[in-house]
Amino acid sequence: MMTKMFTNVLTSEAPVTKYEKFLKNPMNLLKWDPEIINIVSNTGGYSIERNKNALNKSELLTLLEEDSAIVYKVAGDRISYKVMFALVTSNQETEIRQTLYLDDDNSLHLPFVLLKPIAKHAFLENLIRMGAIVENAI
C-alpha cells in the first residue's frame, strides 16, 4: 500500500508538451537529480545508481501514465515509491504538480513524519532545477 507524503507545485512559462517530452525520458533525470550518478535503460525499465548519500543506492524505475499524469514508479533497495507529475495549462502557464507516494513496506524503520519534510524539500529543489532546464530549452 502507498501513502501520500506531499505535493510540490511549480508554475512555468514553458508549454506542457515540453514537460511531457522531458519527463517521458527518464534519462533526463541525470540533468536534474544530483544524487543520480548513472542510469541504464533495460527491458524492465531504468536501472538507477545513486550516490552514497542517497536513501537508496540502487533503484528500478518504471515509467507509467496514470490518471493523465506521468508516473515514475520506483523500486529501491531500501524504500519504494512513486512520483506522479500532473501537468495542467492555465492562463498560458504550465502548472507541474509533483506528488510523492511512499510504499508502506520499507526497510528504513523511520516514522514517515520524520522523513516527510526532508524529502519534500529535496524533491522541491529537484523540481525547481527541472523547471529551469525545461524553460531554458525553449
The CATH number for 94's domain is 3.30.530.20
- Domain of 89? 2-136
Residue 32, all three cell numbers: 536534474
Diameter of the chain measured on Cα atoms = 44
Residue 3 CA, chain-centre distance (Å), reads 16
DSSP bridge pairs for 82: 73, 101
Sheet holding 45-50, edge to edge: 2-12, 93-103, 80-90, 69-76, 58-66, 45-50, 36-42
**Mean pLDDT for all residues in the chain:** 93
pLDDT in tens, 26-58: 999 999 999 999 999 999 899 999 998 888 999
Rounded-to-integer distance, Cα 94 and Cα 103, Å: 29
Domain count, the chain: 1
